Chain A
Amino acid sequence: MSILISSETNVLIQGMTGKEGQKAAKAMLDYGINVVCGVTPKKGGQEVEGKPVFDTVREALAVIASDEGAKQSPRQEENGEIAASPSAPRNDNWVAVVYVPPFAAKAAILEAIENNIPLINIFVERIPIKDTAYCLAAAKERGVRIVGPSSLGLIVPDVGRIGVVGGPLVREIFQPGSIGVISRSGGMTNELSWIIRQAGLGQSAAVHVGGDLLMGTTYADVLRLFEKDEQTKAVIIFGEHGGSYEFEIVELIKNKEFTKPLAIYIGGKFAQMLPEGMNIGHAGAIVARGQGATEKEAALKAVGAMIADTYEELVKLVKPFV
């Protein structure tokens, strides 16, 4: 069992011809996930890592669907039915990953949403918040899940990775196991996973939810998935002083929607020395009196979460449960 992706997952990379898009294509293919194609407006016809690039998502899905149809039932292709009817494709196993510049992000994300791609991972940093809110509203309407923005992706060890989590050291850091990892920090997603591995353990999945003020998938959303996932026995989270997403976890535990062992570290205690309203760390990390690192720790502790003094301690806290 795995969360969010499976061995059937097909990936489409928006912005695959760019520097980071090319790296992402390679990273995913190296880890054995099926990158099918890319989309970059006006660059249709090119190839990246041997995979075709199309001008639009619609075109990409239509061509891939008709190719698939051709493979599976050549007779149908002869009478032209498949090629002519890509109008309502079911794109259940598709994931779109977005690697375009921030000013082009809204159009790219909306294109993926309009084409019924059920999971979109947004790598792009510095998307204006209005554009993010617009995309999140459109996604909600269509039942599309967004992970990000500013998300390096997610990994289910030995099943696949979306994006570049783990980088080139991915096999040194990740191995299948029973600890779930969530962070708003890409670096800490990797670092926590490495600490798990150093302890001789493995990860059920690691999800980088992204550091923006608005995010498509929150800690609480991922915890709901880990709750249902049999492979996951415990979860560790790298939390932060800014934003209020840690308080959603408190509610989740109170409502018994998450019942597995959870260890959490909240970074940024020093931020309490800074003036209220100041932004430090991630884009979404704004110093707010009364809901900083210390208050978050207290609220989480009160509902039974284990609080780590340093992030290195997180794994020690969950080790007895896995």
Chain B
Amino acid sequence: MNLYEFEGKKLFEKHGIVTPKGVVVRRGDDARMKIEELRIKNFVVKAQVLSGKRGKNNGIRFCSSVEDGVAAINDLFKLNISGQYVAAVLIEEELSIAEEHYLSITYDTNKKQPVVIYSRQGGMDIEDVPEEKIEKTWVDVRSETTPYSPPSQGGDTSSGRNDSLTPPYEGGGRGWSSVVQSLWSCFLTEDTRLVEINPLVKTADGQWVAADAKVAIDDDAFFRHEEWNQLEPRTMMGRLPTEREVAVKKIDEGEAYYRGTAGKYIELDGDIAMILNGGGASIANMDALIKAGLKPANYTEYSGNPPREKVYQLAKIVLSKPALRGLWMAGVVANFTNIKETFLGIIDALDEIKPTYPIVVRRDGPESQEAFALMRECATRNNFNIKLFTKETSMSETAKVLAEMVNAVTTKTV
């Protein structure tokens, strides 16, 4: 999950990285009061978004009066920054900048270890910095320090490299290398996937300050980070998360969180409810549905043999979206997900909601005969317009079948 800048900066501060003095403004807050609270003449107001090129998209404004600031804040709340919803605005002191550098740590999937990325050319997107101006240093995740760390902490800055890549090693406690060490400890102890400071500013008085913070936390480590419960719900869909999205996320919480996954739901613009299976087949089937001329109402998949109750909750929420015109339940020949157990969860939801639109099911795997018999009984007692398929018919084929059924209904109504 991506953090907002102000959340990321709190983590940085916790690990000893200096950040600008600032205050967060929420929608509905008194912006004037917040600016006055900061008591600074020259300040910056920054849209708080989960991703995207904020600077290039007018999401950062420099202000020199309270009036300017209030106007800028009101304006930012009206914007979507490269498709991202503005959740808050951060007001910060304007730094007196001498140099702008770039510093980040993330996992290199190719080398399967963390990589520290550094450039003297900060302040712009790292993709736009020429390759020869970027220094990458791979670090064993088991190490408590990086080669950039101060020598007293096991780092190695004695090699005498002296080209344009050489980080400005300054020794002492508050130099560049201690920023790297702090970021490394933040990266590890906060269970992040990415920590990025861009720009890492050297101020006119020689202090290193993180002017921005991009942090992605690793959702799978939530069991050792109770504090993450306090983070507000969010989505990258350019709006607030819907009630359904928030509700589905809760399904996989709690002690049995790892017993099957059923907590995935992204609300989309279409009208075909999707209950898919598996992270791979589900994305291929999204493509297949669109190819068949239909529009998905959501992206949802469950996998890993979740219990009946989890699937029931998921199906109930998926089917609660208004104005649906069809339901596609498409899954592979399962390896170990029990089809009977999971279908029972879906049947529980279908018995409650009793959809009148066309339904197509394609699935196979452990105990699928029993599962399909139960599904047929459910269809009969509810008089569903439903077609059931097992492994003899391919998943894509059944998307076409659903398209025909949905179109037939539409034609009749017209």
Inter-subunit contact A280/B299 (CB<8 Å): yes
Q: From known contacts A133-B141, A267-B287, infer whether A191 and B332 are also in contact, taking CB-CB under 8 Å.
A: yes
Inter-subunit contact A187/B218 (CB<8 Å): no
Inter-subunit contact B366/A281 (CB<8 Å): no
User: Chain B nearest CB: distance from A108 CB in Å?
Assistant: 14
User: Chain B nearest CB: distance from A101 CB in Å?
Assistant: 6
Cα–Cα, bound, A241→B282 (Å): 12
Q: When A and B form their complex, what is the total count of cross-chain residue pairs whose Cβ atoms lie within 8 Å?
A: 187
Cα–Cα, bound, A215→B238 (Å): 31
User: Which residues of B lie under 8 Å from residue A188 when comparing CB positions?
Assistant: 278, 280-281, 284, 332
Inter-subunit contact A130/B336 (CB<8 Å): no
Residue of A nearest to B225 (CB): A128
User: Which residues of A lie under 8 Å from residue B82 when comparing CB positions?
Assistant: 275
Cα–Cα, bound, A105→B295 (Å): 40
User: Which residues of A lie under 8 Å from residue B278 when comparing CB positions?
Assistant: 185-188
Cα–Cα, bound, A221→B305 (Å): 28
User: Chain A nearest CB: distance from B334 CB in Å?
Assistant: 6
Q: From known contacts A133-B141, A169-B365, A213-B107, infer whether A267 and B333 are also in contact, taking CB-CB under 8 Å.
A: no
Cα–Cα, bound, A173→B277 (Å): 19
User: Chain A nearest CB: distance from B103 CB in Å?
Assistant: 19
Among A187, A245, A310, chain B packs the most CB atoms within 10 A around the CB of A187
Cα–Cα, bound, A126→B396 (Å): 29
User: Which residues of B lie under 8 Å from residue A124 when comparing CB positions?
Assistant: 258
User: Which residues of A lie under 8 Å from residue B290 when comparing CB positions?
Assistant: 270
Inter-subunit contact B366/A168 (CB<8 Å): yes
Inter-subunit contact A281/B142 (CB<8 Å): no
Inter-subunit contact A282/B280 (CB<8 Å): yes
Inter-subunit contact A277/B287 (CB<8 Å): no
Cα–Cα, bound, A276→B49 (Å): 12
User: Chain A nearest CB: distance from B281 CB in Å?
Assistant: 5
User: Which residues of B lie under 8 Å from residue A167 when comparing CB positions?
Assistant: 333-336, 365-366
Within 8 A of A (CB), among B386-407: 391, 394-396
Inter-subunit contact B283/A128 (CB<8 Å): no
Inter-subunit contact A213/B114 (CB<8 Å): no
A243 within 8 A of B: yes
The contact of A190 among B236, B334, B395, by CB within 8 Å, is B334
B279 within 8 A of A: yes
Inter-subunit contact A20/B305 (CB<8 Å): yes
A136 within 8 A of B: yes
Q: From known contacts A133-B107, A191-B395, A240-B280, infer whether A270 and B141 are also in contact, taking CB-CB under 8 Å.
A: no
8 CB-based A-B contacts, threshold 8 Å: A152-B335, A167-B334, A167-B366, A187-B278, A187-B281, A191-B332, A214-B112, A267-B283
